[in-house]
A and B are shown apart, each in its own frame.
Chain A
Amino acid sequence: MEIMIKIIFLMNLVSFMCYAQSSVVTHSPIDKMQFYPCSSCHQPSSLSAMTLKPRTSRKSLGIHEDIEFKHMPEVMDCFMCHGHKNPDTLVLLDGQTIQYEEVPLLCGQCHGLKKGEWDQGLHGRLEGSWKNQKIKPICTDCHKAHMPKFPKLKAFPPPKVPKFGRKKGEH
């Protein structure tokens, strides 16, 4: 039995080392948030008064009135995702506390397929270098946290129609 445990431990260690050697790094939103950490205003004791009321009374959000929440309409409570005890953290549905840079774990609770694709590099933007160090943006780098649907954009102008050409399809 002990041998088995040792073998499992070694395998885990090897896999961890392989993982650590891969040259993929993820973005960290901590850089953006370090100037205004949530805890600079929110003391853990005052948080209980912050429960989001039904969406007809959005003024209860106070200073966060500008936050437009367009995601799951049935969610009425900030603390479904935000940490209640420590406002600088996020919480999963099972009560586990995670840091802001681990937000894919939070999104992956519902969007498991997308999270799986993101893990493999199939979903999301590519940054950095294809050869050396790949940088992997996390969910909130591209999607707004409270309104994750990708916004519509203004397209750049179309090419000029050739003078003697016909405005028709290609190929």
Chain B
Amino acid sequence: MDWADRLKKLLEERLKKPVNRRTFLKGALATGGVAAVAKASSEVLHPSPYITDRYTWEKFFQKHYKEMTPRDKEKVFARIESETKKKYGVEVKVSDPQPIPGVKFVYCLNLSACNGSRYCVKACVEENNLSRSPQIQYIKVLELERGSFNLEKSNRYYEGESVPNDGKFYLPAQCMQCDNPPCVKACPVQATWKEPDGIVVIDYDWCIGCRYCQVACPYEARHFNLADPEIKKEEINPNQGYLSNRIRPRGVMEKCTFCLHRTRKGQYPACLEACPTGARKFGNILDPESEVSRILRNKKAFVLKEELNTVPSFFYYFDD
């Protein structure tokens, strides 16, 4: 006797009358509906850990970064630290260094010196807790034919047993920290903005993941977290900044922030420190004695896609 016969018999006993097809189906639908409602209500009352971790009371009512008081920030940072501890098993310290008055960061890159060894890419991935899988990299090193400058013909997937490859030169591209940033204008919820020291930042907890900014950016500098980032426990950088390199949640945008958790404390960005050839220069453009000021005075520096009027803070130059 299968379950349908059994159910039919049970109903007949209860109702004391024979069951035809119509009454049977009615009963079956009602039972199914009750079961579905019960299942749904149990999910509301006892939701899965995925839901509970993602949507907590504190997270839902967390304010925008600019509206947070220092006390709010303390609470939020403690929450992020405990969540990271729970999820990745690592003790981290979330800090929030503020922009230094009278400082505007500028990056200069010597294309004659860059040898395309991707040391900067590796340092950036390690410093900024970038997802290894799915892979996210802020810096793209483009390989170009010597004597040409058509970026559409560049190759970013080149192999290099001994770089520089013959007849090639290399152009690393990352976020240009534009002074007229199209990504900021595109954001419908103001989750991204430009800081006084020139760095375009994202409040990862305010971002709704609509990806308008990714489309708006002409430099492909913004990246979307399609999945929870996968990073090995021992590779997580515990020195984290709220607006920069803390481990991003799923479904938000992220981008290069000139390592603001380092640079606002006086250090150089990780990509610069890793560069073996000294092609990268970083400093305060408002200081006339800084290296970047001297480069912009003495070298013929240029920016990428100048015609778009994005006014980048990232300059390229060639030696002589």
Which residues of chain B come closer than 8 Å to A121, judged between CB atoms?
A: 281, 291, 294
Per-residue 0/1 for B268-293: is the Cβ within 8 Å of any A Cβ (1 yes, 0 no)?
10001101111011111000011100
B115, B157, B163, B164, most chain A CB atoms within 10 A? B157
B309 within 8 A of A: no
A170 near B278: Cβ-Cβ < 8 Å: no
CB distance from A126 to the nearest CB of B (A): 6
Which residues of chain B come closer than 8 Å to A130, judged between CB atoms?
A: 263, 266-268, 282-284, 290
In Å, the complex CA distance between A129 and B284 comes to 12
- Taking CB atoms and an 8 Å cut-off, the chain B residues in 121-159 that contact chain A are 121-122, 135, 137, 140, 142, 151-159
In Å, the complex CA distance between A132 and B219 comes to 32
A3 within 8 A of B: no
In Å, the complex CA distance between A15 and B160 comes to 48
On whether A125 and B278 interact (CB within 8 A), knowing A153-B115, A159-B157, the answer reads yes
Per-residue 0/1 for B29-56: is the Cβ within 8 Å of any A Cβ (1 yes, 0 no)?
0000000000000000000000000000
A156 near B115: Cβ-Cβ < 8 Å: no
Which residues of chain A come closer than 8 Å to B289, judged between CB atoms?
A: 22
Which residues of chain B come closer than 8 Å to A167, judged between CB atoms?
A: 157
B248 within 8 A of A: no
On whether A171 and B152 interact (CB within 8 A), knowing A154-B160, A160-B135, the answer reads yes
Question: Interface residues of A toward B: which range?
Answer: 20 to 34
B159 near A158: Cβ-Cβ < 8 Å: yes
B80 within 8 A of A: no
B295 within 8 A of A: yes
Per-residue 0/1 for A134-146: is the Cβ within 8 Å of any B Cβ (1 yes, 0 no)?
0000000010000
CB distance from A148 to the nearest CB of B (A): 13
Which residues of chain B come closer than 8 Å to A127, judged between CB atoms?
A: 268, 273
- Taking CB atoms and an 8 Å cut-off, the chain A residues in 146-170 that contact chain B are 150, 152-161, 167-170
A156 near B220: Cβ-Cβ < 8 Å: no
A131 within 8 A of B: yes
In Å, the complex CA distance between A157 and B173 comes to 17
A170 near B117: Cβ-Cβ < 8 Å: no
B2 within 8 A of A: no
B294 near A154: Cβ-Cβ < 8 Å: no
On whether A170 and B162 interact (CB within 8 A), knowing A120-B294, A124-B278, the answer reads no
In Å, the complex CA distance between A132 and B268 comes to 11
In Å, the complex CA distance between A131 and B275 comes to 19
Q: Which of A122, A154, A159, A171 contacts B137 (CB 8 A)?
A: A159
A122 near B298: Cβ-Cβ < 8 Å: yes
A53 within 8 A of B: no
Which residues of chain B come closer than 8 Å to A17, judged between CB atoms?
A: none
B299 within 8 A of A: yes
Which residues of chain A come closer than 8 Å to B282, judged between CB atoms?
A: 126, 130
In Å, the complex CA distance between A92 and B143 comes to 41
A171 near B218: Cβ-Cβ < 8 Å: yes
Q: Which of B154, B278, B294 contacts A142 (CB 8 A)?
A: B278
A154 near B268: Cβ-Cβ < 8 Å: no
Identity of the chain B residue whose Cβ is nearest the Cβ of A153 in the assembled complex: B117
A123 within 8 A of B: yes
B294 near A155: Cβ-Cβ < 8 Å: no
A113 within 8 A of B: yes
A129 near B220: Cβ-Cβ < 8 Å: no
CB distance from A4 to the nearest CB of B (A): 30
Which residues of chain A come closer than 8 Å to B290, judged between CB atoms?
A: 130
Which residues of chain A come closer than 8 Å to B306, judged between CB atoms?
A: none
CB distance from A54 to the nearest CB of B (A): 31
> What would be 7 A-B contacts, judged by CB atoms less than 8 Å apart?
A122-B299, A126-B282, A130-B268, A153-B276, A156-B121, A159-B135, A170-B151
